[in-house]
Structure 1
């Protein structure tokens, strides 16, 4: 009964969010509650839900303040010198332009917001692509490749979902993934170099008007919030926060809370400016964090009612024990198509719990399963289920189908590069 109930709940959940019958936030809360009541758990529902929400509270807090912290850093202009330097260095060379696009995307993606990344990078680079005669498909492809890797940041979404499902924190799951992300970044830079080289062979190198670089500054958003005089303080604060994360000096949620408060007060001592910054970014922080807390309801019910145990037992019974050694690799390989055809909510809240329980029985660790599940993010942003992808192709002025065909092989390469890196460093057994 529990097995049937659990699988039925996941199928209904995925169907409703895939067909857009329900918004993921409401589906994550209402669907498991209805199934729990149907299964006879109405009397224990309150405690089960609260246990689930409590388990993900640190992740939700980390997401809120992580997004706000990096949003303040971008608003204050911490990254502006590097952005402008990149633009001046690339000039009219298609290879440099492509490489600069990749570096700029990786840099701006630190705030974990794909829409912000697309708007900033396309606004800065598209005029240059047009000036030189480069294909805008190269621009959209490189931005998506870089964004796909940086989407693994714990405040970006997928990692937070994985941490919620696996009941792990950032130091346990994300920090070991950093070398894997570096492997993916190396691939992105290679892809950018190769695409730039192909463009260079197709077009003649043209001179770019010096006035272009003088106009770059006007492309920076929120000019009134820039704080160039505090760049060294902001840089030191950001490095300190990253060191704290790497060394696990404080829980990441606490580090971001402290870091955000210091950044906000010192960069914007006036109350009006502080309120302006919060209004600008509160919506993004709230939308991501509310999804995570809603997921606490889903995973809490799935676990507290023992549906998860029953479903895992049924899956374990049909999987040969000889698959145990290769299970993390199988998870990594399948995560690419699954996160392409499913939303992150459906995969990390609906599929990953089953994969995890099965993998633990076969001898895999939660870290291996979690890392493997994130490798598919190299492809995920190409999915037609990702709303921000339509923003990217719209800003770049390309057709979605053309973007998909042009980028897919490079996106698969990103996931492959991360998988190879994970195997080499021993994060995933083989």
Structure 2
């Protein structure tokens, strides 16, 4: 796709069009005075196409859509999508406990159709600086912009021992439906005890007429644990908590992320129940011959090839011993990690780093020595500094509103939070209770 080299400079250029930058584009629609363009190398929007399993559902309420958290009357809300598609009343009557991910993908694709600022099939190959502007370049085109927003998302995380073997039958879960391996009569191993591992395991045992010879579900965790989604735990997904988390010392943040793992990376209780009942049915009611095993406290530490099969070495994390499994297909449900986009190579030396990530300012811009007044903002790249909510859908519109306000240098969106139910910070409690003579000591 070609763009004129004389196009007026943008205020914002976004790289990547996933839910985060799509939310930013949706919120900017009401503010056309902020000139923006968003680029993605894919030909069209698809949300986790390799994992769009038939029964997979959201782990967040549908009101945490592209816009509603900060702009509930926006015409790109999920409720507006349901109304336009003439399915709102039926959706209400269906009483879904959670929205199917396939329907939310339809919503995202519908939103894309309403936005003129999106450019699919346009890969950003390089980002550089020219004078006081940022330059974004693709194949035969370039744009200048004051600000850049990185929305390239996280990349599949794969155990080191499996990386040399990745392919059609040793695959990350993000490729599960894309490769679509025949499973009937095969030995399949699922590695990873989070929501994705549970969804893949459920999918593998769903068809009684096409069962694998065996399915083994392996996780480093001590058990197949449910997502902690109590009301008080969900307070971790509020602006107040993410701001509080940001101000904590790095060591404390690291400790809290470990403690809060099941608040973001557990399996929905309904799915765990469905899997347990299905295993019961297959074993005791249907009497099917497939061998189904669930093995917690095992870490994948070795992979070799023997003839046509994989040989997996598992380290038992609670006993000083190892196990060996043979498999025809291995699905690595081992999560994602953030990596700096390759297109930033020309300016990588000008960006401050913290570990594998960036040093992130309160407005989600990163620290770098670029032109004065030009900022690079990041989406889904600040978990270590902003907490477990950062890669989650829940606070995406709030984060985008922060970015928009920062670019506009005024409050186009009201992002002030009401008084919290939980007082995380002693200072906030001291202010509220000051009249009662409360004192706090360091």
TM-score when normalising by structure 1:
0.26
Larger Cα-atom Rg: 2
Query: Which of structures 1 and 2 has the larger relative contact order (alpha carbons within 8 angstroms, sep 6+)?
Result: 1
